Chains A and B, each alone.
Chain A
């Protein structure tokens, strides 16, 4: 069974600074997808960024980028120029190409200090 681990229950960053959230996963599959979702207090899960395992290039979406290390099964999220609106729970998620089920990590609560 696939597992996703987020080892940082909470992280804090100063506004305008950069923060990196960690995620590791365990799978025997070679073809899969990884995601970062943001869940603010409004509780709606918002897709932040997506990475296909077959792509070597790290995905980037504006201030959000990932460091995908396939051999190490590591998928970290870097948030640059942090904003107050970035404060939320962040979840790392995995899905195998042949499956339908997202497997989530336990989440990291990000606090942004003004």
Chain B
């Protein structure tokens, strides 16, 4: 039973560039949530996708956008990267009928120089 997978594992970008992170949910899950975890802090909710639509959004600017595909996989896009966007980006998947339990992937470490 495959768990949540994310790619790439690490990424280095420069200010102003754009980045796309990818997530495949756990087998049987239909909902994907994205979190940003700054060094030494707890994760912060970015947004959640279900049925290819953004269902809820946290306190993040429009530079952060996402997409969910018919196979439930998801992408997180960040435009006009800032130094402060350097963080671990975590994807979590869940089953809508049991949405309260979220299972996390290994994360993508993004460094913006």
Interface residues of A (CB under 8 A from B): 4, 33, 35, 37, 42-47, 50, 91, 93, 95, 97, 99-107
Contact = CB atoms under 8 A, between A and B. Distances in A.
Given A33-B100, A97-B100, A100-B55, A44 B45 contact: no
Contacts of B7: none
A100 B47 CA distance: 9
B49 to A, nearest CB: 10
Nearest to A33: B100
Contact of B88 (A43, A97, A102): A43
A110 B109 CA distance: 23
A35 B31 CA distance: 18
Given A106-B42, A107-B41, A101 B56 contact: yes
A47 B101 contact: yes
A102 B90 CA distance: 12
Say which size band chain B's interface belongs to.
20 to 34
B104 A44 contact: yes
Nearest to B107: A43
Contacts, number: 58
Contacts of B92: 45, 102
A106 B38 CA distance: 11
Which among A100, A105, A106 has the greatest number of chain B C-beta atoms within 10 A?
Answer: A100
A93 B41 CA distance: 13
21 contacts: A33-B100, A42-B106, A43-B88, A43-B106, A44-B104, A45-B43, A45-B104, A46-B104, A47-B104, A50-B100, A95-B100, A100-B31, A100-B33, A100-B99, A101-B45, A101-B56, A102-B33, A102-B43, A102-B92, A105-B42, A107-B40
A50 B105 CA distance: 18
Contacts of A97: 100
B47 to A, nearest CB: 9
Interface string B20-46: 000000000001010100001111110
